[in-house]
Amino acid sequence: MDLVIALIPMFAWGSIALVSGKMGGTANQQTLGMTIGAFVFSLVVFFIIQPTMTVATVIFGFISGIFWSIGQRGQFQGMHFMGISVGLPVSTGMQLILNTIAGALLFGEWRKGQDFLLGGIALLLLMAGSFYTSRQDPDRDQSLAGDRQLFDFGKGFRALLLSTLGFGAYTIIITWAKLDPAAVILPQSVGMAVGAFVFTFKDIRYDRFILKNTVSGLLWGIGNICMLLGIQTLGLAVSFSLSQMGIIISTLGGIFLLGERKTKKELFYVILGCVFVILGGMLLGYMKSI
């Protein structure tokens, strides 16, 4: 059952980029709309469950939310520069490296030699999956003559680097503080909303796109509480890595639902990358069963 809960973020978070892409808007509008939706979700959960709140929960939850807003804004910017089917796999690979190493080394989740061997192989598979899903055909310009160029890799990579640091701090703080998932999501969502307002208020238009993007915030809320529950039972390295398997959904969805065109070679790379991601996720799940 713990593994099932840990897999829910894969579907919830894997759909966010597709939903945001369909809803439209700028990166700032998507970030702000998402935080509003997440706040509504956490408020409903709080009043239903009525968890016990502590000073540490409020403080660390709020701080983690601020860092999340930095991470999410950077990720949306990266996807705008690189396209969903490229930007999200690259972002996922960078986050996997940071969070898996943090879980294994900072929190001692890998204790035996076998853990490091299998975990290392799983991490390599996930990284290979991220690499291949984002790999570009060198003959792309000739194969897709007249197609809109999606790539500005330099700007996208810089945005995703900042995003990775923000997302990494968000998960590491919550794991270190060992907070109740049901209690932390409310102060966390407040921090997310505050961060989103502060980082976007100079360059944002308040219109229907913000309201439309609240839907992605509801999806994020579902994935977030399930990932926090998974961290408590499976640890950061495994739970976070499983949650990132959603790149399969977002990558294929970006191609087939949002119309991000690929050459035959790039489509082969995407399928190969998805296979690597599935194998890496299965290996991480296996690690907890032995």
Can you give the residue range of the structural domain that contains 282?
2-287
> Looking at the 3D structure of the chain, how many domains does it have?
1
Percent of the chain with pLDDT over 70: 94
Main-chain phi, psi angles of 88, to 5 degrees: -70, -45
Q: Give one DSSP letter per residue of 106-127, joined into a string.
A: IS----SHHHHHHHHHHHHHHH
Spatial separation of the C-alpha atoms in residues 14 and 281, rounded to whole Å: 14
Range list of H helices, 50-138: 55-82, 84-101, 113-134
Two structure tokens written together for 101: 């190493």
Integer angstrom CA distances of residue 2 from 5, 220, 280: 5, 19, 18
pLDDT digits (tens, 9 = 90+) for 248-288: 787 778 777 777 777 888 888 888 888 888 788 778 767 76
DSSP, res 288: T
* Mean pLDDT, rounded, of the chain: 83
Q: Does residue 146 carry a pLDDT above 50?
A: no
145 pLDDT tier (thresholds 50, 70, 90): very low
Integer angstrom CA distances of residue 278 from 53, 103, 256: 38, 20, 20
| 134, 89 Cβ separation under 8 angstroms | yes
Upper half-sphere CA count for residue 113 (Cβ side, 13 Å):
0
